Amino acid sequence: MSTMNISLPDALKTFVDEQVSQRGYGTSSEYMRELIRKDQDRLQLRGLLLAGAASAPTAPADATYFDGLRDRVRKPGKTGGVRG
């Protein structure tokens, strides 16, 4: 694991320390890692949403679509199911 040092104004350092204490993080590093992971997830979701918005329209995702999707996922021994 690599180390990165950051400088924060006193007000932000106090905020981080409070979050670590109140939210059960062991260290400020754990808190920062969680923030970075959440930002990565947000950026990935944004990319997926933009790709979906730019893609060609397909059949609507109505009740029939979701019923079929549930049936595919529930079949025992079937691989390649939907991941979420």
pLDDT score of 10 more than 90: yes
pLDDT in tens, 13-71: 999 999 999 999 999 999 999 999 999 999 999 999 999 999 999 888 899 999 999 99
Q: Do the Cβ atoms of 20 and 27 come closer than 8 Å?
A: yes
Collect all residues with Cβ–Cβ distance below 8 Å to 26 and sequence separation of at least 6.
20
* Res. 82: pLDDT tops 60: no
Handedness of CA 56, 62, 83, 43 (dihedral sign): positive
Q: Contact 72/82 with Cβ under 8 angstroms? A: yes
Three-state DSSP at 73 gives helix
- The amino acid sitting at 9 is P
Instruction: Examine the pLDDT at 81 and tell me if it is beyond 80.
Output: no
